[in-house]
Structure 1
């Protein structure tokens, strides 16, 4: 039998590998020259030469190609270990392809066609290199860079929750109470039985994205459980009342939101994070608490609508709804509606409304508003307004540009333009008589030469207002002269802390920059030390930078970025990321925006965003999901802005900044293949002991299952957008990761105990409650997030333990 066909069939493998190595080597060489000229690593240049020569020798059928390839692979392995150690996900782009080619070259079909001296040294060298590379890959499976393993080790700190009283099985406000701790005293679900959680019911709201909606349509709602019902709102501001045991719809309210231009496409985003609840009986029945003074109109509302919901809508209204039947409380304000555009002045469609629920006190409903970032220097006021909770009349208003004048705005007047706003959720301590506001920036974010004295004092910080007068009691600024969009998006968490000096009433403020600022909520004095650290200088022409920035000793900052920390799916896009890194300006955190393009890390989305944190006040444990994603910010002189340029969202594309001398181009720091340029992990779950202020545990969280064309769940740790909750049973829940899961964790050690696949993105904060059947339920909204690219939907899903 002739073997010519078989022999011919084996000749293609070394030729194919030779062509591949030649092409890949030349690509590395070209990029390596560029990188070396920028002062970067010489590896790519040297390796490119070595791989290209190996390819040429394979095409020439020279056996020495094996030895040369083995030498380059061995050198690559040593280089990779020196750069990143035994970090599996960082070794993959550095070695995976070269290891695979090395294995192929060791196959008989690759070696047989080669000619030259019959020395075994070449094969031996290649074998050693392949084994060494494989051994590194194997050893890296037993390391956990960036993670912290530990256990809290206590069930109680002899502390109790200081949050307002409510039945254990209810969830009456966005953060469960107006203290915003997201802690439930329920304990039916434990680490020992959570595996028995199963779906109890699911409903579809029917509110899905349409062709008239913006890209960033999101479903970030955390429903309430009170008054024997669940109350949820949708992206188009519809409210549903549901049976907590079955999900059956009891009533529905549709405010018929409208855009002044007929479409919502031009809106920066569209969402409803929640509604607010007020019950007349809650205050009347309080021991020693006198009934609030109510006007005649307010008394009529109290009788007709004793239990009310307050709904902020996407067309800038605040509507009072009878929580019993879904009817508008006609006696409140103007036929049940407060027009939030009153006194605001002109703005583009979607440029002003509240995406977050109002804060509720015994007498007031207090609300801020979203203002479109980076649109212009003439945006609406960020005023915070307090209305009478009964009749809807304006009681006071606080404008950071006019902070001392809190008297209600006179008819026909307008609030100051472009003042710092509050788009997130406030917290309230009625015993101290204060509301705590997390403040944003005076827009635009990256250009600060137009900042007012009020903005320079209050922006990107927290301010505590007197509930009775609206006057500022104290404030603390976390980012001075903010040029990085470090607005405070997290709801402040109010908790009593056990310290070495005794128990203190604290407010914990998580921030985008990674610091958790812990202040005495009576006067703003730091409980955990805050240091002013020197930061990079040199803003664009006409602007300036603050010489220092405030950093809390309690923080979840990651290490600063380096060229070695650049990543990619392959060695080629990793090399291009290293080139990008060298071409951008980066001198550490708070590197100012520049015409060159600056790397902003942590980026615009931040380490903590609107999901905030959850705190177990009994165990004194903080549970959270920090993110680590870098952004690029490039200032473009006005005359160089291309005609027709447009934004993709508030954090991506060309941001116009009309009225400023610069537009800004912003985008996540990504490789040409669409993966982050910085190495994973990009998302974690973590817990902090609030007595020692130490990280107890920190683990990678989430997979790539829903972020890649091939649905493989690589456990790299992905970003999360949405908050956590924690329970007395010792279980925490989180649903905001880019993969579609609701997960349960043991809060003592961070172990993932259970997860359930969601039909759409779960970018919302879960909640938990007791049903009429006496069972503990866990509930999540799964509707997706447009600009994050998660699957859209319209689901609300509840779980309980199986019998």
Structure 2
């Protein structure tokens, strides 16, 4: 009975591997799986005939498989495991006494005691031991890691950190208008950070609703001004809480309502403004500006959360004014505007790939007191920045900016990361202006909105490679101590642009490199693409990089890989389906990077997750009910000749087809462009049915911060943890379990008693499936 079962198992595995393996060979892939299938069928035949030589055959197969696996992927345990897991387990099964006894009974041999003699399986035992030794040895090897150290010396003793604020405060999304995400606080250090404990937690009450869109996310970074924290929630509530205790001070609900056509339900932050002309006790002398998911900007009194009626229309600015098309739910601001020079400057998010008739991506400056429009910069009509006349409208579907701006008041410039024109994957009929400004960083005059310079990071973008991250401003010193005003721009494709922020010219070299062709006949692709010498772009994938939990899903991924169009980074979308790597999730996203302006280094979280992109002719697009979300499913592109089906490149059991790690923490020197370290980050604890704390290196979305204590803080990973790292080495120093996903950027501050707190919002991220919640979590060191 045991041998019959073994025969069936080996035969079924043999048929599956042989059939899939032949298919893979036809597609131009590895011969291993077909040959392995033949071996398994031979093993089944020999077991059925009870031939002892089956043990020698299988021993030879295991050794050959091990040699092939090491030749393909080296001593990488996570790559070796799917190749060897089932074969080694079946080898152990063949060595069991009840299997070998069945083989011995057919041999006809007997020992001197008259008992039946069965084969000892020495050859197979040795093969299994060798395979296990190689596997165990590979567990301590991390072939993907870079384990150097960042410069730990102070390069600039008195660095420019942007607009002056108290050391213990956090006034803007990135702390100051420079967006450095750096705090000069040093109470928490690399030596004591492991002692952090929870100080308080606050629950906002804004929880996910059944009517919410899939991409309902909690991405806010609170502001700290004086003794208060100010934040917003996914449904656009504004809240003030006590910075020391976490007790609620006030709450304002703008009642945005549900809208199934809204692509994102999120708020990354509010904007604080203190009127320098106000008198003590004046109402609305300090304001909080709240962007809402129904395209409003509301001014609130920072003291009590009441509406400041003197702003715009009874306290509310309607952002869809002068748009030619106004489909409900298609436009809103997910990020906080910037307040500078008595102006509030704001962009807006436009739904990706819903329609060719969506709102404009115009950038506008309003009088911060009255809401009067002062200038508008429309990338579809970039030279006319004077407010539009009555009856005029902005350019439909011009490239938009959904992320956060940075400001240099001394240079008089605002720096804006721009996205692509909808539809993202179709470049036909784009105007000259759209081709110039799509997926770029632009510098505008704070005073007039006039263009100062533009630096494009992708030419003729067909991949949704928006510039997603707030540009980071800092000064970079040369060996002589001379400082250059710099801008650090992180991109989805993994390049880090280090530019002179006065001119947009590179401080770290940017090259034009050849890019794949092969766009659909109606379109074209750019023959070259820019690439920074400081880059975290992934290596080009090959068949050997395909992964799985077992041989079977790995084989399925290899088959699909060879069926997709793929020639490396910037492979155009296609009718057959293209592999897009990095995918539109990005190597870096809105979380940006954090910089230390004293040491002039950066800390970030590069993520690697391939996507697929397939164009669907309009007459083949499924009817209503198809998904419209930007990260997965069918994006309708109403009005365009093609829809697009897109999503992560996953195996039949819904794990990434590419081998891990999928997420890292990394540090780089911004003076030299050298990457000092790159360490896998995060566990599969919340990715699998069993809570296994295996440090695989997982995807994430969110941002880091750095403190003068030499510590970087980051949540973001798809396991629900908040972590601290040694900035110099990237080694993890501390972690805390969060009650929900931590897909937000943390912040830090001190209270009037000198205590340093670190705060992160934990509320989850709908499109990556982390646990939802409504928590604001604060941590501090124990009292002496």
Coarse TM-score class (shorter-chain normalised)? over 0.9
Q: Report how far residue 689 of structure 1 moved.
A: 1.3
- Cα distance between partner residues in 1 of 2:27 and 2:732: 43
Cα drift, residue 104 of structure 1 = 2.4
Contact 1:222 1:273 in 2 (8 A): yes
Is 1:222 the equivalent of 2:221?
yes
Q: Answer whether contact 2:612 2:646 (CA < 8 A) is retained.
A: yes
Aligned to 2:52: 63
Q: Deviations over 1:266-287 (max 9, x none)?
A: 2111100000011124xx6xxx
* Residue 19 of structure 1 pairs with residue 8 of structure 2: yes
Match of 2:460 among 468, 481, 484: 481
Task: Compute the displacement of 1:26 (Å).
Answer: 1.0
How far did residue 752 of structure 1 move?
0.5
Please, which of 290, 300, 304 is the counterpart of residue 325 of structure 1?
304
Q: Counterpart of 1:387 in 2: which secondary structure? A: strand
> Which residue of 2 is the match for residue 275 of structure 1?
270
Q: Distance in 1 between matches of 2:382 and 2:151?
A: 46
Matched position secondary structure for 1:634: strand
Aligned partner of 1:76 in structure 2 is 65
The 5 Å alignment of 1:263-302 reads 263-281=258-276
Measure the CA separation in 2 of the matches of 1:335 and 1:371.
26
Gaps of 5+ in 1: 1-10, 285-298
- Could you tell me which residue of structure 2 aligns to residue 702 of structure 1? 682
Tell me the equivalent position of 2:112.
none
Shift of 1:437: 0.5
- For 2:319 and 2:345, the matched residues in 1 are separated by 12
Aligned match of 2:98: 109
**Which runs of structure 2 are paired with 1:340-739 in the superposition (5 Å)?**
340-500=319-479, 502-644=482-624, 646-647=626-627, 649-739=629-719
> Within 5 Å, which residues of 2 pair with 1:82-121?
82-115=71-104, 116-117=106-107
In terms of mean alpha carbon deviation, does 204-213 or 17-26 score higher?
A: 17-26
TM-score normalized by the length of structure 1: 0.94
Structure-2 change in CA distance of 1:398 and 1:153 (3 Å): closer
Cα distance change on mapping 1:795 and 1:37 into 2, 3 Å: same
Change (3 A) 1:537 1:128: same
8 Å CA contact 1:215, 1:265 repeated in 2: no
* Residue segments in structure 2 that go unaligned for 5+ positions in a row: 110-116
Cα gap change, 1:153 to 1:549, in 2 (>3 Å): closer
Partners of 1:710 and 1:169 in 2: how far apart?
Answer: 41
Aligned residues, how many?
A: 772
Tell me how far 1:264 sits from its aligned partner. 2.0
Give the Cα separation in 1 of the matches to 2:718 and 2:628: 19
Query: Aligned with 1:680: secondary structure?
Result: coil
Q: Secondary structure of 2:147's partner?
A: coil
Matched residue, 1:239: 238
**Is contact 1:172–1:277 with CA below 8 Å preserved after alignment?**
yes
Q: 1:300: how far off?
A: 9.9
Q: Report if aligned partners of 2:631, 2:767 keep a CA contact under 8 Å in 1.
A: no
Q: Deviations over 1:334-379 (max 9, x none)?
A: 1111110111233333100000000111221100001011112221
**Given that residues 170 and 748 in structure 2 are in contact (C-alpha distance below 8 angstroms), is that contact kept between their aligned partners in structure 1?**
yes
Determine if contact 2:325/2:357 at 8 Å carries over to the other structure. no
Cα pair 1:300 1:331 within 8 Å, conserved: no
Moved more, 598-607 or 325-334: 325-334
Shift of 1:153: 4.4
> SS of the residue aligned with 2:591?
coil
Given that 2:320 and 2:326 are in contact with CA atoms closer than 8 Å, whether structure 1 keeps it comes out as no
Q: What do residues 169-189 of structure 1 show as CA deviations (whole Å, max 9, x unaligned)?
A: 101000011100100000000
1:777 counterpart residue number: 757
Residue 326 of structure 1 deviates from its aligned partner by 0.7
Q: Deviations over 1:730-755 (max 9, x none)?
A: 01000110000000001011111100
Match of 1:188 in 2: 187
Deviation at 1:110, TM superposition (A): 2.4
- C-alpha RMSD over aligned residues: 1.6
CA contact (8 A) 1:195 1:753 kept: yes
TM-score normalised by L of structure 2? 0.96
Instruction: Check the 8 A contact 1:91/1:137 in 2, yes or no.
Output: yes
1:114 aligned counterpart, secondary structure: helix
How far 1:464 sits from its partner (Å)?
A: 0.3
1:494-544: CA deviations, max 9, x gaps? 010123573210001100011001110001111010000010112112101
Q: 2:143 aligns with which of 114, 123, 145?
A: 145
Shift of 1:714: 1.9
Whole-Å separation in 1 of the counterparts to 2:150 and 2:334: 36
8 A contact 1:17–1:101 mirrored in 2: no
Equivalent residue in structure 1 for 2:130, among 124, 129, 132: 132
User: Post-superposition shift, 1:155?
Assistant: 3.4
The Cα of 1:648 is off from its aligned counterpart by 5.0
